[in-house]
A and B are shown apart, each in its own frame.
Chain A
Amino acid sequence: MSAEEAAPPPDIAPAEPSTFRKAMGQKRFVVGLTITVLLVLFVVIGPHLAPFGETEVAGPPFSKDGVLGTDYLGQDVLSRLMYGGTSILLIAVFGTLVGMVLGILVGVVAAYAGGWWDEIIMRGNDVVLSFPQILLALVVLTAVEQPTAWILVLLVGISHAPRVARLARGVALGIVTRDFVIAAEALGEKRTRVMLAEVLPNMSAPLLAEGGLRLTYSIGLVGALGFLGFSTDPGAANWGQMIQENRLALSTQPWAVLAPCW
């Protein structure tokens, strides 16, 4: 600090250390973060390090060649594994994002509006909720010939939204009646600002937990759709599809099935 700045404003205490810094102090968080980062690294860098190409034939089908052997077409399982994560992870992440944003929007608006609006929105939500997640996806996917990535993202998102909405409404209900929200109302803040600046920031903890949970469901859902044959590109590597392709040889070449599961 230079000499000109020797007279700082009268002691203003520094802001709180950021949430991330505080979280880094916790072992649990560090372990979780490490695992997540490793997985993401595997998926992102994997295709560049893979010993064989995505569709390259590395040996006879279901042989023990390579680290994890080969699959039903003789392609290297390890390489397929390294290639196959990207699409699943991307679709799952974006699907979760879409689902969270939609769900939070519906939930917070319902809780904040209250009364009849709340009833109408949430009963509508219940109707959507009553469709089984995977069924909804299958209905749409059978209707379109070749699903593109964004259709999958939307499907995953829409199937999550009503579940997120229920949680978001429950959390928001406890906040919209708090005095600081009423104080903002009394000042005449815009309704959107009350929701965004006063209500939403106080919901972050349960919503982040829900987001994490939804992400794992998304990965499972996208994998399941791949297993059922609804992936963006039938030839490309996809963890769900790999399980389907190689399940016949589960007893002789288990790795081709087990590796993507794991």
Chain B
Amino acid sequence: MATMEQEPTQGKVGGLVVEDLGVMITGKDIDIVNDIDLVLKPGEVVGLVGESGSGKTTVGTSLLNYSRAGAHISSGKVLLEDRDVLHLPWQQVRQIRGEEIAYVPQDPASALNPSIRIGKQIVELLALRGIGTDASRLQGARDGLAEVGLPNDDEFLSRYAHQLSGGQVQRVALAMAFLPKPKVLVLDEPTTGLDVTTQAMVLDTMAQLCRTHGVSALYVTHDLAVVANIADRVAVMYAGQIVELGPKEQMFREPAHPYTRALLDSIPHLSQARALTGIPGRTPAPGARPSGCRFHDRCSFAVDACAQAVPELHQIAPAHDVRCIRAEEIGHWDISRGTVPDSDPDKAREVILSVDGLDVFYGRKHVVHNVTFDLAKAEVVALVGESGSGKTTISRSIGGLHKDWTGAITFEGEPLAHSARQRSAVHRKRLQYIFQNPYLSLNPRLTIEQIVKRPMELFGLASGKEATDRVVELLDQVALGPRMLKYQANRLSGGERQRVAIARALAAEPDVLICDEITSALDVSVQGSIVALLEGLRKERGISMLFVTHNLALVRSIAARVEILQAGRVVEAGSVVTVMETPQEDYTRNLLSKSPRID
């Protein structure tokens, strides 16, 4: 059993108790999650952290007795005040959902009905159940919106979801969830895709509401840094099991499970550059999970005994449980492990690409204003900003993917034409673009070999057998085996696809890589290994990189210089150390203070 410190049963036990929960694939003897024990105390926020495929969302929805099509809840109990949600008749479960256990989905923009006005949508549940009168419901909606810091006049209530910003929509969803005064709240990555300042605001609102209303919350996320800011306790999931569970401070100071440590090692810090590392291998899918400890095949501390039996979750410190037989033997961990000196701000620079007075337009809309910066050989320059700051637009203009711009982009002294088609083959070859979403950037109908080979054929670098050998070499460089050659892209995981995309860019033997948020669609451990890979390429091949990101902590670890963008203008620029240690602009300071951090 997990946490054993339930309050003595005085009348009703508040919160929610999950015992031995298991979810299986229907019709097969394959578990998606199993052996989940968790206690949510009233007013407490528990962070449930895991990478994609760990089963964290499955656990989240199981608390409402819901499982996706193709899966069913096979065992366990979810006790809400001594009622087992999993074994109640469906009418009562329906009653509990929303009223007592509320759910805030990942993407509220798609969860809110686009054709119902906000005011009506917020009270939809109450109206459906006939709770209160029209007037009292309207008052409730107004109070709820005020609580989440949104306007509550008639004008706002009559808006549709698409007339709100992402952060507003998420806060409307929060107000909606809190309106029936639920006892338990399940939040499924509610801030993914929001800017850091908006995210900070939503998180504050949520934490405050939970505490004032005594609501217990399960915060499901992949982002350890977010959890470090809001959760009271943290549960780390891997391959369908909780591997570590403990109070937040302890989890970040003394993580005991090798997986937790590896995750923390792959997260960049705001205060210091780090040599990020990934976790070798990939998260096993349900049905392909190894016997014994499910992490043993990727664990650097594994011994033979690890493969024998599934370790039990056992207590190593008060309220701190770990599912590892060697937890006590593997020594201490230090959060500053892996820090490296920041890149030297005074290093001599040999400029290879310079952007001078760049203005970019979308039709009549002027989106980027007079941006000037340059990029030196073997240097990483980061473009940082929130959504709408123009960072991707700038990178696309440089890459020749957007042609409606004025100003000068010079590559080794030669001006670059506006669109890729107008540029010379040499320019196209030497400047390579890597896209944000690896699920869209590889043609699903081609094999990996065809994809990586194409730039070589196009630029006449190699062909036939020789090209195939080069492909194998490149795949090896990006840590993919030759096994993948004949695979189609859809058989690969996100991290593997992004590596193929990098291999494709490298196949052209470029001098400059333009990386557009290339790690934001990936898990942190995968991000860690991709960053390590890019750092190696920079050092060995002297490739320069323009690194577009919204993650300031990542900038600290990867870049030498940084351009902070706001609404299409550079507000602050300079070496990473200078900008991050002594920010001059309020905007930069605000970004830095709102960024979630674990250090």
Chain A interfacial positions (CB closer than 8 Å to B):
9-16, 178-180, 182-189, 197-198, 201-202
Contacts and interface: CB of A to CB of B under 8 A. Distances in A.
B484 interface: yes
Interface in B395-427: 399-401, 420-421, 423, 425
Given A11-B483, A185-B421, A186-B401, A16 B441 contact: no
A183 B500 CA distance: 13
A24 B174 CA distance: 49
B350 to A, nearest CB: 25
Interface stretch (B77-85, B281-289, B442-450): B442-450
A9 B481 CA distance: 12
Interface of B: 399-401, 420-421, 423, 425, 428, 433, 435-437, 440-447, 454-455, 458, 481-488, 491, 504, 508
Given A178-B440, A180-B443, A186 B484 contact: no
Contacts of A15: 447, 486
A202 B437 CA distance: 18
Given A185-B401, A185-B420, A188-B421, A179 B440 contact: yes
Contact of A182 (B401, B455, B482, B504): B401
Given A187-B455, A187-B508, 11 more contacts: A12-B485, A16-B487, A182-B435, A186-B399, A186-B401, A186-B420, A187-B428, A187-B454, A188-B428, A188-B458, A201-B443
B47 to A, nearest CB: 33
A35 B302 CA distance: 58
A42 to B, nearest CB: 36
16 contacts: A11-B481, A13-B483, A13-B484, A13-B487, A15-B447, A16-B491, A178-B440, A179-B440, A180-B440, A183-B435, A186-B399, A186-B428, A188-B458, A201-B443, A201-B446, A202-B443
Given A186-B399, A188-B425, A180 B442 contact: yes
Contact of A187 (B440, B443, B458, B484): B458
Nearest to B436: A179
State the 5 A-B residue pairs at the shortest beta-carbon distance, nearest first. A179-B441, A201-B445, A179-B440, A15-B486, A179-B435
A12 B483 contact: yes
Contacts of B442: 180
Contacts of A197: 446
B548 to A, nearest CB: 14
Contact of B433 (A9, A183, A198): A183
Contacts of A188: 420-421, 423, 425, 428, 458
Contacts of A183: 433, 435, 441, 504
B488 A16 contact: yes
Contacts of B444: 202
B220 to A, nearest CB: 28
A28 B508 CA distance: 45
Contacts of B400: 186
A16 B437 CA distance: 24
Residue among A15, A182, A188, A201 with most chain B CB within 10 A: A188
Contacts of B508: 187
A114 to B, nearest CB: 13
Given A183-B435, A187-B455, A202 B445 contact: yes
Given A183-B433, A188-B420, A188-B421, A14 B486 contact: yes
A13 B423 CA distance: 38
A179 B443 CA distance: 9
Contacts of A178: 440
B148 to A, nearest CB: 35
Nearest to A198: B443
Contacts of B446: 197, 201
Contacts of B488: 16
Contacts of A202: 443-445
A187 B484 CA distance: 23
B381 to A, nearest CB: 20
B425 A12 contact: no
Contacts of B454: 184, 187, 189
Contacts of A9: 482
A178 B437 CA distance: 10
Contacts of A13: 483-487
A201 B442 CA distance: 13
A202 B458 CA distance: 22
Contacts of B435: 179, 182-183
Contacts of A11: 481-483
A12 B482 contact: yes
Contacts of B504: 183
A189 B451 CA distance: 13
A225 B60 CA distance: 62
A201 B400 CA distance: 25
A186 B514 CA distance: 12
Nearest to A189: B458
Nearest to B444: A202
A6 B421 CA distance: 48
Contacts of A182: 401, 435
Contacts of A198: 443
Nearest to A15: B486
Residue among A13, A180, A186, A202 with most chain B CB within 10 A: A186
A185 B482 CA distance: 27
Contacts of A10: 481-482
Contacts of A12: 482-483, 485-486
Nearest to B450: A197
A231 B423 CA distance: 56
A180 B420 CA distance: 15
Nearest to B447: A15
B228 to A, nearest CB: 33
A201 B444 CA distance: 9
A127 B445 CA distance: 35
Contacts of A185: 401, 420-421
Contacts of B436: 179
Nearest to A183: B441
A189 B458 CA distance: 7
B441 A180 contact: yes
Nearest to A16: B488
A179 B454 CA distance: 16
Contacts of B440: 178-180
A11 B486 CA distance: 11
Contacts of A180: 440-443
A10 B476 CA distance: 12
A197 B428 CA distance: 20
A76 to B, nearest CB: 51
A15 B400 CA distance: 35
Contacts of B441: 179-180, 183
Contacts of A184: 454
Contacts of B481: 10-11
A139 B435 CA distance: 53
Contacts of B433: 183, 186
Nearest to A199: B443
A196 to B, nearest CB: 12
B480 to A, nearest CB: 12
